[in-house]
Amino acid sequence: MNKMKDIEFIKEYVLKHYKRHFIKKYTAIEHTPRGKVIKTKSKELPILISIEDTYIKIQNNKDASPIILNKNILNERI
């Protein structure tokens, strides 16, 4: 199979099933003429994918704890 298609499928799968690990929410205070406004904003974290022989390792940075997935998820797209 094409490796780029595999990586795109894995990114979609991860964002669907493990969204909170890769979306960081933070609050921002904005000053307006009427006073302070608190807004919740979100930022997407990068998805680092490492495809090994028997599993797929997914992280949002190199020091983070990985999510380990079986390679059988690549067969689910059929």
Q: Quick one: pLDDT at residue 55? A: 93
Listed by start position, the domains of the chain span 3-75
Amino acid at 48: L
- Distance CA(56)–CA(61), nearest Å, equals 15
Q: How confident is the model at residue 70, as a pLDDT? A: 92
The whole-number pLDDT of residue 56 equals 93
CB within 8 Å of 58: residues ≥ 6 apart: 10, 14, 18, 47, 48, 49, 50, 66, 67, 68, 69
- Low-confidence residues of the chain: pLDDT under 70: 1, 77-78
Tokens for 34, please give them.
Answer: 């009427």
Angstrom distance (rounded) from CA 24 to CA 37: 20
